[in-house]
Amino acid sequence: MTFEVFRDAWGIPHLRAAGPRELAFAQGRVTAADRAWQLEVERHRAQGTTAAFLGAGEITWDTFARRARLADTARRCFDRLDAETASWVRAYVDGVNDGLPEGAGRAPEFAATGLVAGRWEPWTPLAVWLTTHILFAGFPTKLWREEVAARLGEEWTELFATDGPGTAGSNGWVVSGGRTASGAAIVAGDPHRFIEAPGVYQQIRLACPAYDVVGLAVPGVPGLPHFGHTGHVAWAITNAMADYQDLYRERLRRDPAGDVRALGPDGWRPAAVHTETIEVADADPVEVEVVETDRGPVITGPLPPAAEAGAASGQAAAAAWEAVSLRYLPRVTGELGFGVLGELLAARTVADVDRAVDGWIEPVNVVQAADVEGGLLHRVAGRVPVRDRVNSLRVVPAWEARHAWQDAAAPLPRADVEGHAVMANARGLAAPLGVEFAPAHRAARIDTLLAASTAWTPGAMTSVHTDTDNPSAARLLAAVRATDPAPGHEADAALSPAAARVRERLLAWDRRMEADSTEAGLYAAVRGAVVRRLAGHAVFAPLRERAPYPDVFQPWLALGPRVAYALETLLVTGPVPAAEVARIVREALEEVAAGPEPLAWGATHRLAPWQALADADDAQWPGLAGDHDCVLSTSSVPGYTDRSARSSAARYVWDLADRDASLWVVPFGASGVAGDPHHRDQLPLWLRGDLAPVTTDWNHLSKELPHDDH
């Protein structure tokens, strides 16, 4: 296939071809050349084969990927694609396979691990998409609520929800033309994810006679599913925080012949079962039994039996065991929504975007869009099953019919845009579809900032991206203020002089989490001490024991992070009495006062990206401004580490007046190859909060050698 590759000053690929299929091939080939190691890691993660070259530490992921049937689900979804979309995806895969030998030759990780670049199948992009998003909705939180109910008490099941899960952080906003200097709309924001090196988003341009689109691609997936600008219409998303995956407590038994049966609403029914082998580098292979019931694949087990299950199943319970199955939409329906990707590329109006995302499945997103005619869009896209509300909270009994999914999907909310609209994972537009949302802090702060001007420009949007005001500090600061003893009780509760000085410094602090701020570092130190002491309180002792689930789910099941993210709530409600909370805050002030002076925030709040091959020298990673609930959302785990594994995976500003006035940046660079000039050349921009220009004039780009007849 014939296509042309151009690069801008940042090495970002601009691709031009005769048609959509040729362009998909070009996108696949260039992605393989730039990011072969990243692509192959993602392919192996989707197949559950990473332990074969990364070692025993990956067994827990590979086991989950096999049990959850990710690859098999991708095959099913590919088989249900319409012919045009299937051909388009195949062309992308052909390009990947064509470019992998070149890309693997450039990437030193292949030699370091002994990995040989494999071959992508037509369904592999769908498997990569599933793998990237299978944990996105946070279904392991339901396991956590089970533990809270069982160990702490049913009344505390939702105690740690507090509209603050550690997976939130994305921001997005659309400003109508009536509030911009140009009179045309602006769409802007920054998706927050676990930061990976290379980055999870790839800046790219895709041009053919049918369309010409710039945007952020997911390496391994064709098109621009989340963020794009066609010159006529621009779109962007954030996670809607909807709940669309369910966990079922399964009761299983094995017949003398070895067949497995599962107890459902209609009694004992056959379950599909087979065994797979996980190869492990420098270790013996691991056998994994894969079981799937009428609800879905079994992902954990065995578990202690539930009393109601025994009563429901009679004598059969004696020979049975319990486990947890996962029900997720692509496994149930064989649909992933990939037909949307091509439709988005061809969109020219918000009505086109609106129609396209009607076919979206998961993850469930809030979509915003604007076009050059003044059209605006603010809606939820995706599919959420209708079922009992308890399904959204807990692991539910597979044998109770009331927990089955209904045939219809939940209606998807939408809203008009009045001047501007904000999406920041908060409870609001998508509230009927979820349980836990991000706190309202970021959304409210962005709303306030946007309301301050009626003449917004693309360049001015960086002031919103980088805002470091920390509203979530208010409640802890109020608790610090309350340590001032009431008249007549000074002798009983007085702070030491050193702790009193810490208190006064905190109360004078401007709440900004700047990297060079010693007061922000002081606040973080006190907050960490409060979190550790709260988590160590005797009332939470039952939750400190490790939950009986695989390692892949443990980040959702650790008490310390749960306390850290729910701190605002736990300071004013919960099982720790108010007097004990007050004592803990006083002791935290004394602890920090007695120790060395805390460093500036950025000295400890350092970037900590995930890499398939960990870098031996993590001291290279820079310090960051921001915090979890700032608009500049750089998440750590207060009380346990200040390092930030979550932050802006990209920033963008789409200008509908002039696409070349648009701006974007990623944390590292366009190339995934160590040593390449564009491997990390955007990192200084990203750290400063600056953005690179979007350049679309072909005359201002550098053309690579022709790519013909591949």
CATH number for the domain including 108? 1.10.439.10
User: What is the spatial distance between Cα 384 and Cα 398, in angstroms, rounded to a whole number?
Assistant: 19
* pLDDT tens by residue, 392-404: 999 999 999 999 9
- Across the range 308-320, mean pLDDT stands at 49
- Across the range 651-662, mean pLDDT stands at 98
**Looking at the 3D structure of the chain, how many domains does it have?**
4
| Residues 445 and 489 occupy one common structural domain | no
- Across the range 644-653, mean pLDDT stands at 96
| Residues 324 and 339 occupy one common structural domain | no
Looking at this protein, which amino acid is placed at residue 432?
Answer: P
Q: Is the peptide bond before 265 cis (omega within 30 degrees of 0)?
A: no
User: Is 32 a member of any domain?
Assistant: yes
What pLDDT, on a 0 to 100 scale, did the predictor assign at position 317?
45
User: Is 99 a member of any domain?
Assistant: yes
Share of the chain above pLDDT 70, in %: 94
Count Cβ atoms within 10 A of the Cβ of residue 260 and give its class: 0-12 exposed, 13-18 middle, 19 or more buried: middle
* pLDDT tens by residue, 417-453: 999 999 999 999 999 999 999 999 999 999 999 999 9
**DSSP state, 651?**
E
Residue-averaged pLDDT of the chain: 94
Q: How far is CA 406 from CA 384, 385, 433, in A?
A: 11, 7, 15
User: What is the spatial distance between Cα 456 and Cα 284, in angstroms, rounded to a whole number?
Assistant: 60
- Across the range 306-323, mean pLDDT stands at 56
User: Is 145 a member of any domain?
Assistant: no
Q: Is the pLDDT of residue 468 over 60?
A: yes
| Residues 19 and 59 occupy one common structural domain | yes
| Residues 666 and 622 occupy one common structural domain | no
Range(s) of the domain holding residue 125: 3-137
User: What is the spatial distance between Cα 526 and Cα 647, in angstroms, rounded to a whole number?
Assistant: 23
| Exposure on the CB side of residue 250, measured as CA atoms within 13 A | 28
What pLDDT, on a 0 to 100 scale, did the predictor assign at position 636?
95
User: Is 147 a member of any domain?
Assistant: no
Q: How is residue 7 written in tokens?
A: 């690069």
* pLDDT tens by residue, 495-522: 999 999 999 999 999 999 999 999 999 9
Q: What share of the chain is helix, strand, coil (3-state, %, to 5)?
A: 40, 20, 40
Q: Edge to edge, what strands does the sheet with 192-194 contain? A: 192-194, 641-648, 635-637
User: What is the spatial distance between Cα 607 and Cα 194, in angstroms, rounded to a whole number?
Assistant: 11
User: Is 625 a member of any domain?
Assistant: yes
What pLDDT, on a 0 to 100 scale, did the predictor assign at position 311?
42
* pLDDT tens by residue, 661-698: 999 999 999 999 999 999 999 999 999 999 999 999 99
User: What is the spatial distance between Cα 537 and Cα 576, in angstroms, rounded to a whole number?
Assistant: 8
In whole angstroms, how large is the CA radius of gyration of the chain? 26
Collect all residues with Cβ–Cβ distance below 8 Å to 315 and sequence separation of at least 6. Answer: none
DSSP character string of 168-181: ---EEEEE-GGGBS
Distance of CA 28 to the CA centre of its chain: 24
Tokens 């946007």 locate to: 450
CA trace torsion 157, 430, 654, 702 (10° rounding): 60
Q: Is the pLDDT of residue 162 over 80?
A: no
SS3 645: strand
| Residues 455 and 479 occupy one common structural domain | no
Give the DSSP H or E segment for 502. helix 497-508
Q: Is the pLDDT of residue 151 over 90?
A: yes
Q: Which residue from 392, 355, 22 is spatially nearest to 209, judged by alpha carbons?
A: 22
User: Is 591 a member of any domain?
Assistant: yes
Q: How confident is the model at residue 617 (pLDDT cuts 50, 70, 90)?
A: low
Q: How confident is the model at residue 479 (pLDDT cuts 50, 70, 90)?
A: very high
Give the DSSP H or E segment for 140. helix 140-151
Q: What is the pTM of this model?
A: 0.95
* pLDDT tens by residue, 42-90: 999 999 999 999 999 999 999 999 999 999 999 999 999 999 999 999 9
User: What is the spatial distance between Cα 273 and Cα 275, in angstroms, rounded to a whole number?
Assistant: 7
Q: How is residue 329 written in tokens?
A: 């939409």
Q: Is the pLDDT of residue 709 over 60?
A: no
Where does a domain end: 330, 345, 364? 330
Q: How confident is the model at residue 307 (pLDDT cuts 50, 70, 90)?
A: very low
Q: How confident is the model at residue 643 (pLDDT cuts 50, 70, 90)?
A: very high
Distance of CA 474 to the CA centre of its chain: 26
673 in Cβ contact with 31 (< 8 Å)? no
What pLDDT, on a 0 to 100 scale, did the predictor assign at position 302?
77
What pLDDT, on a 0 to 100 scale, did the predictor assign at position 706?
72
Q: Is the pLDDT of residue 313 over 80?
A: no
Q: How is residue 522 written in tokens?
A: 């002081």
What pLDDT, on a 0 to 100 scale, did the predictor assign at position 14?
98
Give the DSSP H or E segment for 278. strand 267-278
- Across the range 657-662, mean pLDDT stands at 98
| Residues 348 and 437 occupy one common structural domain | yes
Count of C-beta atoms within a 10 Å radius of residue 419: 12
| Residues 20 and 132 occupy one common structural domain | yes
Q: What is the CATH number of the domain that holds 351?
A: 3.60.20.10
What pLDDT, on a 0 to 100 scale, did the predictor assign at position 309?
40
User: What is the spatial distance between Cα 365 and Cα 347, in angstroms, rounded to a whole number?
Assistant: 18
What pLDDT, on a 0 to 100 scale, did the predictor assign at position 579?
96
| Residues 16 and 101 occupy one common structural domain | yes
User: Is 142 a member of any domain?
Assistant: no
* pLDDT tens by residue, 318-369: 468 999 999 999 999 999 999 999 999 999 999 999 999 999 999 999 999 9
Q: What is the CATH number of the domain that holds 615?
A: 1.10.1400.10
Q: Is the pLDDT of residue 314 over 70?
A: no
Q: Which residues pair with 79 in a beta bridge?
A: none
